[in-house]
Amino acid sequence: MNSGISKDGILNIVPPNSIDAEKALLSAILIDNSQANSVLGIINPEDFYDSVNAKIFRIISKLSEKNEPIDIITILHSLEKEQDSPDNSSDFNYGNYLTSLFELPAGLFNIEQYSKIVKEKSTLRNLINASNKIRQKCYEQNEDIENIIDFTEKTIFDATQKDAPKNYAEVYPLIIDYFKKLTSKKSDNDVITGIHSGLNYLDEYTNGFQPSDLIIIAGRPSMGKTALSLCIAKNIAVKKIPVAFFSLEMSKEQLATRLLAMTAKIDSSFLRRGKIHNPDIENIHKALEILEDIPIYIDDSAGITVTELRAKTRRLKREKNIELVIIDYLQLMRASHNIESREQAIAEISRSLKGLAKELNIPVIALSQLNRMVESRQDRKPQLADLRESGAIEQDADLIMFVYREEVYKKDTENKGVAELIIGKQRNGPTGIVKLSYIDKYTSFENLAYEDREAYI
């Protein structure tokens, strides 16, 4: 371990670094520009310990984005156009330094190893900085232990991400990226940009579940909120997209039974009673083949706090790379603090879930109960005002959908087996109604046949 003047001033120990690997990486790119493509998605300028190397790599990244040649002349030209220098040495001879890099005996085929070394050293430095922040937070002793644990989880999570977190972005590259996604989808005859729910008419209406969105599925008891969310989880997971399912009401075993029933298309009550007929055996075997490797991760911890949920979700993101979180249901969660007002507690939970969706850049679906006011109206169709403690939920959510089945109230209705998803709020799209098929004995939702469905604003 080398001693000296530390960048962070801790114990006079030089933070982890490998200047040789940084130079070798830059040298390989200078000699063969095509090598840049293999590292630009992995390495950021912030990963370099040496400020001169960091600045050169930042210039290389910009040249690569513009599809311009990367050589000593183009790098020097870009440097001349910049006013500031990260090493505060205006007389630093970048020309001689770049020439020395070009003449290094670096192995072109070792660039991935060089980038790995640079990234590992950067992560170690990030962890040192993170541990210093955590230590300071612990010494202050002015926050609840759950908040400190949440801070620790988030700080470590941020420090160990593959890409350094950036809180800013230039707008033009964002527009170009979005346009590329659209044109790519169009060529694939697929214009849905988010995660497909497997319910086609819902996807047409919402454009799929979008990253960083908080999605609320609300309804009165027995409307099928859990069944719908489990159906969505299954449809997504069969495409090998990992899903986290936090069930605060039903056990893992109950959810597994429902999942098997809806996949095998057998009466869930038969499964619960162990009353399986011979014709069902083949369907169960087929369902088991489908469900064998689907990446759904169920946590049935009761009374979980929002802080605990965030910590578990970060861990699942890190270990399983989950791309969707489902919570059943919001009102059963506890706030991280002792808040007397239930409305304030729900506000904290709602705000935290939206923050989690943004932090992990994945959709978060939270189920929600409705208050009894909906029962007093003649049509009993839910509205935004029917959400329990609705103020914060309505504000934080990007998409709010209400599950409504007329047959719950009218046993002799002509709409038996038909469910309505009432889209009460959609931040980036229309409101309206999507109709689905509901199969009660399988506790499952499916697409309606085209001639039976009605989706309108």
pLDDT at 237: 93
Whether residues 124 and 199 share a domain: the answer is no
Task: For residues 405 and 373, give the distance between their C-alpha atoms in angstroms, rounded to a whole number.
Answer: 17
Task: For residues 159 and 124, give the distance between their C-alpha atoms in angstroms, rounded to a whole number.
Answer: 9
Q: Structure pTM?
A: 0.66
pLDDT at 108: 60
Whether residues 301 and 443 share a domain: the answer is yes
Tell me which residue range forms the domain holding 76.
19-130
Question: Does residue 53 fall inside a structural domain?
Answer: yes
What digits encode the pLDDT tens for the residues 188-240? 555 778 999 999 999 999 999 999 999 999 988 888 999 999 999 999 999 99
Q: What percent of the chain has pLDDT over 70?
A: 83
Which residue, 130, 165, 186, sits at the end of a domain?
Answer: 130
Segments in 265-363 forming alpha helices (H): 268-273, 278-291, 306-320, 342-360
Q: Which two tokens stand for residue 401?
A: 């959908």
Identity of the residue numbered 335:
A
Whether residues 116 and 210 share a domain: the answer is no
Question: Does residue 332 fall inside a structural domain?
Answer: yes
Question: Does residue 164 fall inside a structural domain?
Answer: no
Q: How many domains does the chain have?
A: 2
Q: From 30, 60, 27, 31, select the one nearest 43 (Cα to Cα).
A: 60
Whether residues 200 and 315 share a domain: the answer is yes
Bin 163: left if φ > 0, else alpha if -120 < ψ < 50, else beta. beta
Is the pLDDT at 114 greater than 80? The verdict is: yes
Whether residues 199 and 116 share a domain: the answer is no
Q: Which two tokens stand for residue 129?
A: 């900085």
CB 364 within 8 A of CB 357: yes
Q: Cα-flanking dihedrals φ and ψ of residue 302, to 5°?
A: -85, 145
| Residue found under tokens 């869930």 | 268
CB 404 within 8 A of CB 422: yes
Catalytic positions: 249
pLDDT at 1: 45
What digits encode the pLDDT tens for the residues 429-452? 899 999 999 988 888 899 887 545
Question: Does residue 410 fall inside a structural domain?
Answer: yes
Q: Which two tokens stand for residue 335?
A: 């706030």
Kindly give the interhelix angle for 51-65 and 94-102, rounded to the nearest 10 degrees: 80
Secondary structure (3-state) at 326? strand
Q: Which residues pair with 364 in a beta bridge?
A: 214, 325
Question: Does residue 189 fall inside a structural domain?
Answer: no
Q: Kindly report the CA angle at 360 between 354 and 363, in degrees rounded to 5? A: 55
Question: Does residue 174 fall inside a structural domain?
Answer: no
Instruction: Give the model's confidence band at 455: pLDDT under 50 very low, under 70 low, under 90 confident, else very high.
Output: very low
Is the pLDDT at 48 greater than 50? The verdict is: yes
CATH (domain of 32): 1.10.860.10
Question: Does residue 7 fall inside a structural domain?
Answer: no
pLDDT at 215: 96
Complete DSSP assignment for 112-158: HHHHHHHHHHHHHHHHHHHHHHHHHHHHH--S-HHHHHHHHHHHHHH
Identity of the residue numbered 306:
V
CB 124 within 8 A of CB 16: yes
Whether residues 280 and 403 share a domain: the answer is yes
Q: Decide the pairing of beta strands 324-328 and 364-369.
A: parallel
Whether residues 93 and 215 share a domain: the answer is no
Which residue, 130, 155, 171, sits at the end of a domain?
Answer: 130
Any idea of the CA torsion for 41, 46, 48, 51, to the nearest 10 degrees?
140
CB 279 within 8 A of CB 297: no
Question: Does residue 172 fall inside a structural domain?
Answer: no
Identity of the residue numbered 110:
N
pLDDT at 236: 95
> Mean pLDDT across the stretch 355-371?
92
Is the pLDDT at 456 greater than 50? The verdict is: no
Whether residues 213 and 125 share a domain: the answer is no
Whether residues 251 and 103 share a domain: the answer is no
Which residue, 77, 102, 130, sits at the end of a domain?
Answer: 130
Whether residues 271 and 366 share a domain: the answer is yes
What digits encode the pLDDT tens for the residues 161-191? 655 444 455 666 666 666 666 566 555 555 7
Q: From 209, 219, 201, 180, select the one nearest 427 (Cα to Cα).
A: 209
Instruction: Give the model's confidence band at 388: pLDDT under 50 very low, under 70 low, under 90 confident, else very high.
Output: low
Is the pLDDT at 13 greater than 60? The verdict is: yes
Whether residues 326 and 220 share a domain: the answer is yes
pLDDT at 389: 63
pLDDT at 188: 53
CB 313 within 8 A of CB 360: yes
CATH (domain of 340): 3.40.50.300
pLDDT at 164: 45
Whether residues 310 and 219 share a domain: the answer is yes
What digits encode the pLDDT tens for the residues 232-270? 999 999 999 999 999 998 888 888 888 888 888 888 777
